[in-house]
């Protein structure tokens, strides 16, 4: 087929840290959250490739060029008694959208979840990001509209930690 693009997915290595940080910055800009993307290369290297990695990353390439990434980690479901796989970030650079890389990254994550005996594969999506929501629905995902995300961070996190009594 003339013009077919070659898609590949590989696990990230520590050498990919600058690329990962750049892709995170691009995602943050797209999500209108650039001010929140403060992770440094050193932060990412320690958390992704240190003694106890907190998450894993897949790098997606199109025709050998870095085109996107997926960052994920494990959760645990007390109801299922099994691990889950949580997708923190999925991003495909605009120039490569429509090539099928997002679908391939999601399929790779689903395979990892199945191979590792996970009972769930979950992620969050911004409610205004209709193209992403439509993409996930086409993959067969169900919205969990009855759930809301709750978060403690910064001063609120530290204030609660300081109040905690034994």
Q: Which residues does the annotation mark as catalytic?
A: 136
Closest CA to 68 of 10, 112, 126: 10
SS3 assignment, position 21: helix
User: What gap in Å lies between CA 88 and CA 85, rounded to an integer?
Assistant: 10
Closest CA to 115 of 74, 80, 71: 74
Backbone angles phi, psi at 34, to 5 degrees: -55, -35
Closest CA to 58 of 122, 126, 67: 67
């Amino acid at each position: 087929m003339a013009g077919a693009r070659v898609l590949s997915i590989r696990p990230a290595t520590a050498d990919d840290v600058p690329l990962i940080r750049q892709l995170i910055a691009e995602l943050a800009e797209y999500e209108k959250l650039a001010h929140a993307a403060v992770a440094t290369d050193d932060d990412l290297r320690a958390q992704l490739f240190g003694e106890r990695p907190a998450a894993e990353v897949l790098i997606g390439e199109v025709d050998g060029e870095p085109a996107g990434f997926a960052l994920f980690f494990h959760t645990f479901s007390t109801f299922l008694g099994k691990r889950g796989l949580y997708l923190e970030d999925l991003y495909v650079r605009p120039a490569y959208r429509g090539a099928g890389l997002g679908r391939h990254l999601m399929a790779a994550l689903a395979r990892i979840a199945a191979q590792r005996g996970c009972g769930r594969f979950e992620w969050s999506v911004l409610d205004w990001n209709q193209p992403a929501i439509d993409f996930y629905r086409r993959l067969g995902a169900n919205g969990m509209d009855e759930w809301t995300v709750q978060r403690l961070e910064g001063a609120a996190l530290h204030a609660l930690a300081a109040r905690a009594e034994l």
